[in-house]
């Protein structure tokens, strides 16, 4: 990434965290009519950007180990921090904006990197190791993958996202070997 791409990423994540947070707290106010949700909550972009950076590191570092004891891989760090923030929030009923900011940062950065980031091969990272379900433990991945695919299908229908197109390099060596009758070197030698 260059400086311009980092600036675009920073702007997309922080603006998204602000807009999603404002929408979430407005809807919470509409449901509860508690004015504190409109005027007392301050949404900060720092934790949202931290969530975005961890998603970008998951995309680039993937299965690399960041802690030896206990063994923690980079792909698990974003959700482990979300779980830690949720557990730290339990004793204090306040400060839910911290959890919301971080969660919205995770979500908005994943959406940007998955579907909209420009690079030499087009837009987004449609690789299987960066699917939304891979952020969750393996036991939950089938269920999360099903829900994520349903949401993606709806977003494709309303033209918010594009349909996933798999690209294959035809010139790349293949692991598939086709053996036609009569092409075996021993058969050719026998015929001579």
Alpha-carbon span 71 to 128, nearest angstrom: 23
The residues near 160 (Cβ < 8 Å, ≥ 6 apart) are: none
Q: DSSP letter at 164?
A: P
Mean per-residue pLDDT, 162-187: 60
Q: DSSP letter at 70?
A: T
pLDDT digits (tens, 9 = 90+) for 75-91: 889 999 999 988 887 77
Alpha-carbon span 89 to 103, nearest angstrom: 13
Average pLDDT over the chain, rounded to an integer: 84
Alpha-carbon span 154 to 152, nearest angstrom: 5
Give the domain ranges of the chain: 3-122, 131-168
């Amino acid at each position: 990434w260059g400086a311009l791409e980092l600036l675009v990423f920073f702007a997309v994540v922080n603006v998204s965290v602000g807009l999603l947070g404002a929408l979430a707290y407005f809807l919470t106010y509409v449901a509860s009519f508690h004015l504190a949700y409109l005027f007392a909550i301050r949404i900060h972009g720092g934790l949202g950007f931290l969530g975005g950076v961890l998603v970008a590191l998951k995309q680039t570092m993937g299965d690399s180990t960041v802690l030896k004891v206990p063994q923690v891989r980079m792909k698990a760090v974003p959700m482990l921090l979300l779980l830690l923030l949720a557990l730290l929030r339990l004793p204090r009923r306040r400060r839910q904006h911290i959890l919301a900011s971080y969660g919205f940062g995770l979500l908005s950065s994943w959406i940007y990197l998955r579907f909209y980031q420009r690079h030499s091969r087009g837009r987004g990272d449609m690789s299987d190791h960066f699917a939304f379900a891979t952020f969750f433990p393996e036991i939950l991945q089938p269920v999360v993958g099903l829900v994520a695919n349903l949401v993606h299908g709806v977003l494709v229908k309303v033209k918010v996202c594009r349909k996933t197109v798999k690209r294959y390099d035809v010139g790349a060596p293949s692991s598939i070997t086709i053996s036609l009758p009569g092409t075996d070197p021993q058969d050719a030698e026998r015929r001579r």
